[in-house]
Homo-oligomer: A and B are copies of this chain.
C-alpha cells in the first residue's frame, strides 16, 4: 500500500523509526512528522506562523509544526504520493478513553480522515516501551487485513497495543473508548529561581473501564481497536434542547 506515516513524538522517535523500518519492506512510504516531540498537541493547527520543512538524510520530511500540520501539509501539496492510508505512530504511551481527545497521535489520523483518507493511529501501552516491534507487527497485520477486506473509507482506527512480546498478546478486541476519572490536580511548585510554576496534572485513573472498553482489552493483554467518528454533535439532545430554546 501507499502510506503516509506521521506521529506526535517527532521524527526522531524510536516508535516511528521502528514502524518505518517494518513498513518499508512491503509498502511505499513517505514520512512527514513533527521535528520534535509534540505530545499533547491534540488537533492544534499552526495558523499564526508559517511552518518549515527539513528533509533528513533518510528521506523523512520534518516539519516545525504539529501532527495535524504535518498531515495537512503532506496531503494538500507537500508530497506527490497519494496514500491509501494514513498511519500515525507508534506512540510511546497509551491513547485510551478520553486521551484520544488530547492525543497528537490520534489527531494526525483524524486529519488524514478529515482530508478523505482512511487512517490508523497506533500506540503502545507503556511510557517506556520495550516492544515496539510488537506494535509494528500488529500494524503490518492490520494493513494486510485491510488489503484483503477494505474498511469503509471514512474509518479511523485507534489501536492500542500492550507492551508485550508478540507471542504473549492475547488477541484482538474491537472496543469502545472508556473514560477516565478527572485528571489529577495541577502540581504547584517553584522553579529553581523561586518563582511559582504549575505542571498540568496527569490523566486520571480509569473510571469506565469495564468489558467492551479499550481499557479492559489492553488490561487483558489484547490489542484494542476502537473505530472513531469525529461528530461532536450530541444528536439525542437536539429535540430536548429545541424545546428548551423556545423560551429564549
Chain B residues with CB under 8 Å of A148's CB are: 247
Interface residues on A, range: 35 or more
A194 within 8 A of B: yes
Contacting pair A39 B43 (CB below 8 A):
no
A-B contact pairs, 9 of them (CB 8 A): A35-B35, A37-B64, A40-B44, A43-B43, A51-B197, A52-B195, A76-B185, A101-B110, A177-B231
Contacting pair A50 B199 (CB below 8 A):
yes
A202 within 8 A of B: yes
A196 within 8 A of B: yes
A183 within 8 A of B: yes
Contacting pair A127 B172 (CB below 8 A):
no
A42 within 8 A of B: yes
> How far is A107 from B235 in the complex, measured between Cα atoms in Å?
19
Q: A233 is contacted by which of B76, B110, B226 (Cβ under 8 Å)?
A: B226
List A170-223 residues whose CB lies under 8 Å from chain B.
172-174, 176-177, 182-189, 191-202
Q: A194 is contacted by which of B51, B127, B158 (Cβ under 8 Å)?
A: B127
